[in-house]
Amino acid sequence: NHYNKGFGDWETIKKFELIPGEWSIEGGEMTPTLKLKRKPILAKYSALVERIYRS
């Protein structure tokens, strides 16, 4: 809650999950220039994202 102070209700972090491991180029989550590949990340962690929004 300390980090949410000063933000509107719509801007605050309500739920989050930690993933096992780090994102990498080899894992398919990052490009060679270290940009995130959003579609592969969402596909790989879709169950986790669903769990966040469901609860």
Residue 14 in domain: no
In this prediction, residues 3-29 reach a mean pLDDT of 93
Report how many domains make up the chain: 1
Q: Residue 1: is its pLDDT beyond 90?
A: no
What are the residues whose beta carbons fall under 8 Å from the beta carbon of 20, sequence distance 6 or more? none
pTM of the full predicted structure? 0.71
Has residue 24 been placed in a domain? yes
Would residue 7 count as lying in a domain? no
pLDDT digits (tens, 9 = 90+) for 2-15: 889 999 999 999 89
CB 20 within 8 A of CB 29: no
Q: Is residue 8 part of a domain?
A: no
C-alpha–C-alpha distance, residues 25 and 34, integer Å = 7
Q: What mean pLDDT do residues 31-44 have?
A: 97
Q: Is residue 26 part of a domain?
A: yes
Res 23: pLDDT: 96
Predicted pLDDT of residue 44? 94
Range of the domain at 36: 19-55
- Burial of 40 from C-beta contacts in 10 A (0-12 / 13-18 / 19+): middle
Segment 46-55 shows an average pLDDT of 90
